[in-house]
Structure 1
Amino acid sequence: MDENQIKEYEKKVQDMRSIVEKQEERIQNLQSEAFELANFYFLFQGVILTAVSRASISPPVTCFVRWLFFILSSLAATVNLLALFTIGHKYIKTLSQQHENKLEHHEVVQTLHQLRRYQGQSQSPHASNSESPVLPSKDIFKEAKHYLAFVLCILLFLGFAGVTIAGCLKIPCSKNECRRLPDNENCINLCDGPKCIKVCSEY
Structure 2
Amino acid sequence: MVDPAEIRRIILLRHGVTPWNAEGRYQGQTDIELAETGHQQAKAAARVLGATFDVTRLVASDLKRARQTAAYVSEETGREVSYDPRLREVRAGEAEGMVRAEILERFGEMPTSWEPYGGESWPTVATRFSAAIHDVAGSVEPGETVVVVAHGGAIRQGLAAFLGWDPAVVTTLAPLTNCAWIELVARDFAHGILPAAPWRLATYGTGAPIS
Structure-2-length-normalised TM-score: 0.25
Q: Which has more strand, going by share of residues? A: 2
Q: Which has more helix, going by share of residues? A: 1
> Which of the two has higher C-alpha Rg?
1
Structure-1-length-normalised TM-score: 0.26
